[in-house]
Structure 1
Amino acid sequence: MKISKANAEHYIWGAVCDGWHLVKSDGLSVIHERMPAGAAETRHYHERARQLFFVLTGTAELEMDGETVVLGPQEGCEVPPGIPHQMKNTSEAEVEFLVISNPLTRGDRIEV
């Protein structure tokens, strides 16, 4: 079945950000997310899940364990389990990115 933002399960997080579940299974999660200018997620880590943040459009900052990586279009960064991290949009424009997680992060998120 063909999947896109138009037909994927949608949710709102952080009051202003959007997420679309492109793949949602126990072993794999692929989410297309939109984060407006100035938005950020809560700093956290996962005990089991390994994640890849991959920017589609715009520019984002991914803080991992005290180090900040700036990600532009078509750039990504892997976050291993147990590493505190936070995705931020400090730019003037919205950013869209993919979050690919293995396994699913449900029940695996610890806020710090």
Structure 2
Amino acid sequence: MDVVNLSEAPPFTTKDGSEIRELLAHRNSCIQKQSLAEARLPVGASTTAHYHPKTEEIYYITHGEGRMQIGDEFRDVKVGDAVAIPPGQVHQITNTGTDTLRLLCCCAPAYEHEDTVLVES
């Protein structure tokens, strides 16, 4: 049985500039076709606009509030919101709140730097 506690997951910075703690993926568990991580963005910070050619993502907001952009659409997000991000869609999230924005990121297939394409502004 693979159980990983968030407090024991080492942080690293993804290609889009967010700090994540990978909870479950092929790198640390029996999970092979998806990944689950927690991302954190400080107040006022944004991820770099990017897309994933192969990977679909779900963001689930657990702390704070932000502004989500997918393509040309913008939406304010808060605790309890789940955001669907299809493959190939340029997306970015900005922390618009007064506390660290924390969200769970579910990726299928699992997150890989190689499947992240940064978009020049």
Same fold (TM over 0.5): yes
Deviation at 1:12, TM superposition (A): 3.5
- Give the match for residue 54 of structure 2: 48
Instruction: Determine the structure 1 residue equivalent to 2:116.
Output: 109
Q: Which runs of 5+ in 2 are unaligned?
A: 27-31
Question: Is the partner of 2:6 in helix, strand or coil?
Answer: coil
Aligned to 2:21: 20
Stretches of 4+ aligned residues off by more than 4 angstroms = none
Q: Which residue identity does 2:72 align to in structure 1?
A: G
Shift of residue 34 of structure 1? 1.4
Q: Hey, what does 1:95 align to over in structure 2?
A: 101
Bigger proportion of residues as helix: 2
Percent identical pairs in the alignment equals 23
Q: d(CA) in 1 for partners of 2:99 and 2:64?
A: 7
Q: Which has the higher strand share?
A: 1
Q: Aligned partners of 1:71 and 1:111: how far apart in 2?
A: 22
Cα RMSD (Å)? 1.5
Structure 1 portions without partners, runs of 5+: none
User: What is the total number of aligned residue pairs between the two structures?
Assistant: 110
CA distance in 1, matches of 2:10, 2:79: 24
Deviations 1:81-108 (A, max 9, x none): 0110001112222111001100023111
**TM-score, reference length from structure 1:** 0.89
Q: In the alignment, which of 63, 73, 76 is matched to residue 82 of structure 2?
A: 76
> In the alignment, what sits opposite 2:7?
6
Give the SS at the match of 1:99: strand
Select between 2-11 and 42-51 the one with higher mean Cα deviation: 2-11
Under a length normalisation based on structure 2, what TM-score does the superposition of the two structures give?
0.83
